Amino acid sequence: MYNKYTCPHYDNTPKNIFPSPSLPLSMQKWIHESSDSLTLLGDFNASYNTFPYTVNPNVEIVIKGQFPYARYLSYSIVGKSDLTIATIPDRDLIPDPGSTNPFLPGANWNAKNRNYTLKIRFTPPPEGFDHFVPAAGNNIAYAGTLKNGLQNTHGTIGLRIYAPSIGYNDITGGVGFPIIMYNHTPNNNKYSLTTQPISKANFNPALKQKNNFEHNKWYISSNEKNCKENGDLSWSTLGRSSALIQYDYNDAYILSNELQRDPSRLLFLRWKAPAFPDTYHNIGILGNEDMRYWSMSFISPVGLLGLYTLADFETVIDKNGYVNLIISFGAPRPSCLTTENGFTWIDASHLPLIPLQLFYRNKIVSQDFPYSANNIPPGNIVPPEVMGEYYPCGKYINPGYFKKYYCD
């Protein structure tokens, strides 16, 4: 139950990383980290991989890879004290000449040539530039200094791949791990002030899904009002200490209060499902989605240990566009709570007998989607009205409620 994918350990022994005058051995290997690693808030549909580095201004790391057949790819450049220097989502990587970035709206998802190159240089970024500067075949992250301008000495490069597509369901999304090599830093380590803009393929905003809200017996009038008055779950954003290396561009993560593991009751969560691209079935990104990816995970408050994940593509969405998630801690399943009737069922009684919380992950939220918590400061309660119908409203209910109102 704890591993959806076979995850071998990719060993790496960074001894004598910067001998002089020779370069370190090329073809270094990634270290794979399990989704249930401590403090990772792991998503069980994601592959987490790292590579350590030591700062040497005379050396650059060159990573050559292929865009995976997966929902999402990102790199994170983390410096000393676990401080993030740069996060590089897939759409910001300009492909090699002659290749396609399939993560751009309207791009060819099945493009054969899908290569990219990422370089990490251990110098400060050029004046007037951020720590990541994209260019075709020459995307460069500058890791010589931290974001605050202080000197960096060491850190890690992180690689994450989410939700591989059908037919490519290994942990790399069907393209293998990117190759890691070392080069001497070029003598003319200057960057042209002219950069190639990232293509944003056009899409029709009229395709944006509309809200078709149909109230059920529980959500009588206003979802936000009902949640505030009758909901049993509260949600808050991550505290600063646990959010240091978790965020990519325009992400929103919220954490529930501790769950009540009552074997006589069911936890019923209902919320409007944000629209997401169906890359799982190898359909490309259109650009009219609400966000790139969302999931609901069970985690332990102690160590922020990921225990189980329900991803968007695994969730039943009813005919009105809503998620009806039923969580059991030992209570039997009423006969009418079926996928055909629009319900998703999780038996959480098999999870370890430790405190549990829910962790709702929203990745790359669209600029025109206002119903997320990405503007709520770290460690703050998220009011239901901020997310509206997209707020996961939760209530503990006796199983007889469903038999009375849904099964008859």
Q: Per-residue pLDDT averaged across 214-219, rounded?
A: 39
Q: What percent of the chain has pLDDT over 90?
A: 70
Tally Cβ neighbours within 10 Å of residue 181: 17
CB 299 within 8 A of CB 305: yes
Ordered by start, the domain boundaries in the chain are 31-184, 217-405
Rounded distance between C-alpha atoms, residue 236 and residue 228, angstroms: 14
Per-residue pLDDT for 75 more than 90?
A: yes
Per-residue pLDDT for 9 more than 90?
A: no
Q: Predicted confidence band at 328 (pLDDT cuts at 50, 70, 90)?
A: very high
Tally Cβ neighbours within 10 Å of residue 267: 24
Q: Write the pLDDT tens digit of every residue in 355-403.
A: 999 999 999 999 999 999 999 998 999 999 999 999 999 999 999 998 8
Q: Per-residue pLDDT averaged across 230-236, rounded?
A: 94
List Cβ neighbours of 308 (8 Å cut-off, separation of 6 or more): 1, 2, 44, 297, 298, 346, 348, 351
The class that CATH gives domain 31-184 is mainly beta
Equal fold, 31-184 vs 217-405: yes
**Is 225 in a helix, a strand, or coil?**
helix
What is the pLDDT, as a whole number, of residue 41? Answer: 84
What is the pLDDT, as a whole number, of residue 398? Answer: 95
Per-residue pLDDT for 8 more than 50?
A: no
Q: Write the pLDDT tens digit of every residue in 18-60.
A: 444 456 655 678 999 888 776 678 899 999 999 999 999 999 9
Which H or E element spans position 297?
strand 291-300
Task: Order the strands of the 46-54 sheet from edge to edge.
Answer: 31-33, 46-54, 154-164, 70-78, 84-89
Q: Per-residue pLDDT averaged across 87-110, rounded?
A: 97
What is the pLDDT, as a whole number, of residue 34? Answer: 84
Kindly report which listed range (173-182, 235-244, 249-258, 265-274) carries the lowest average pLDDT score: 235-244
Kindly report which listed range (36-45, 69-78, 156-165, 218-227) carries the lowest average pLDDT score: 218-227
* Cα–chain center distance at 15: 32
The pTM (predicted TM-score) of the whole model is 0.85
CA distance to 22, 153, 172, per residue, from 362 (Å): 44, 32, 21
- Choose the CATH number for 217-405 among 1.10.10, 3.30.110, 1.10.1660, 2.60.120: 2.60.120
Q: Per-residue pLDDT averaged across 107-118, rounded?
A: 98
